[in-house]
Structure 1
């Protein structure tokens, strides 16, 4: 049952006069109550920040132990440089779990006495003696002329012009194309048109599947090609392949964690292959390793 009491009060926020039904009512409307609450919260935050700023803070040069970030400010270098010095054991430190501390005494002792400055020899610029012509690059790697110049601009390939021919650094070109060449021995490839004809997929669907399953691809001229074996596997087509375990199958069979299984694979050099996002492990090699010993 609503109150019948009428009390004339002044709003605590806007100052207007209003009729209140309760003695505890302070504001004439919800909007004024919200504004008052936000103003009080803002003032409390300002007071906390002012109190924090007024607290005396110890400067870095007066601390007995400092962090790498404080050491960087003290020496006027970046934090990455300090971590490089620590890794090279130039500055002594102690590593706790989640925190690294440097003693000011040990840091100051580094500068005691005289130290001779050692001039660091400048790196000699290696002379490039082997080159490709533009025609040789196009024929060897099957790319277009415009694609070569675009890649050269983006990767800063050294080049020179001699008797009207553009010569490209052989080592830089080989190093660049070695990264983009699939590491696996793939002999059969699909073009996008062949995939569309066989599976009835759109180009966007092909690109999405290639990206999702990480199917190896290569570019021949202006045409992209995709690994036939990996693509068929991603589509669920039955393929003749050697007997393998997935990680989950091997873990379940031998009762091991993923880290333990990775340890044995790395230590004993067990063959494995990555198909999309799935790692396949040689079944025969893994079974032989865990087979009971025989005399």
Structure 2
């Protein structure tokens, strides 16, 4: 049953005069009503943000705190997070490690300056001259790589070179160091080629690369061919179980080795320790982590 009331009102959004059938009507059309609703929501969001900003700015400044996390201590000192973790590892700064959290006392930061040694001017080290070189042909033959690859990787890794009578010579020390770093784990004896992984698991080439990177699968390169550890691929694919003991969960590894989550992931990434995903959990190779972090046995 429609109302017989006719009231002249001014639209609160566009300002036009219209005939309303209810005293509670404030807008001349659905379009104006919708536009006003969106503006009201926008203003509420702005007000909520401003309230949150005021609360956050009223918190105690970092300089007034008594205890700091490593990132906060790094910010206070104006140094990088990597530097503060290095000072902690070298026992330059004292810390207390709780389960899942590390704290640094402000007093210990101040003691760094009270007990500081006399400043010594840093003298740049003289670089030893490079005397041993490979020719491009020697690099190709020894490491089984293409000539174009030698020039590309040397440019990318900034490997020193020199020229003599139209030939290019590469620093032997730097070339050896590069390939030593890229050398595969000698304990790995069985490998899949990229094509074998594609055929066995029905994967595209890009899927193989993504899978190997995500699961930190050890790999090696011979010429243009790339090979991946058979054992690690099978484990990550769930077609072969590793010998017991298998993996640590992240909390287990943190507790056993007294590490923060950031430190644990740093070690795993830097030392290429295999990881697998099982549901929502990340599992880290127990054998590799024990080999890296376990205390040596006293005989």
Task: Say whether the fold is shared (TM-score over 0.5).
Answer: yes
Change (3 A) 1:124 1:39: same
The one-character-per-residue Cα deviations of 1:162-181 (angstroms, maximum 9, x if unpaired) are: 34432112233234345277
Structure whose CA Rg is larger: 1
Change (3 A) 1:208 1:46: closer
1:242 match: none
The one-character-per-residue Cα deviations of 1:186-238 (angstroms, maximum 9, x if unpaired) are: 79x9998xx9xxx9x9xxx8745864786967454xxx4476x97xx99xxxx
Within the alignment, does 1:247 sit opposite 2:248 as a pair?
Answer: no
1:190 & 1:46 partners in 2: Cα distance?
56
2:208 & 2:105 partners in 1: Cα distance?
53
Q: How does 1:24-35 map to 2 (within 5 A)?
A: 24-35=24-35
| Among 104, 110, 113, the residue aligned to 1:111 | 113
TM-score (norm 1): 0.58
Within the alignment, does 1:151 sit opposite 2:153 as a pair?
Answer: yes
Which gives a bigger RCO, structure 1 or 2 (Cα 8 Å, sep 6+)? Answer: 2
Other structure's SS at 2:41 match: helix
Change (3 A) 1:33 1:73: same
Displacement of 1:247 in angstroms is 0.9
1:182–1:218 CA contact under 8 A, matched in 2: no
1:43 match: 43
2:134–2:172 CA contact under 8 A, matched in 1: yes
Change (3 A) 1:61 1:151: closer
1:138–1:145 CA contact under 8 A, matched in 2: yes
TM-score (norm 2): 0.57
Change (3 A) 1:92 1:46: same
| Among 175, 187, 203, the residue aligned to 1:173 | 175
2:91 match: 89
1:133 match: 135
| Among 64, 67, 80, the residue aligned to 1:65 | 67
5+ residue gaps, structure 2: 254-273, 278-299
1:74 match: 76
5+ residue gaps, structure 1: 235-244, 264-273, 278-295
4+ residue runs over 6 A deviation: 189-192
Displacement of 1:91 in angstroms is 2.3
1:16 match: 16
2:61 & 2:247 partners in 1: Cα distance?
48
1:90 & 1:30 partners in 2: Cα distance?
69
Count, aligned residues? 234
Change (3 A) 1:103 1:259: closer
Change (3 A) 1:142 1:85: closer
RMSD: 4.6
2:78 & 2:211 partners in 1: Cα distance?
47
Other structure's SS at 2:15 match: coil
1:247–1:258 CA contact under 8 A, matched in 2: no
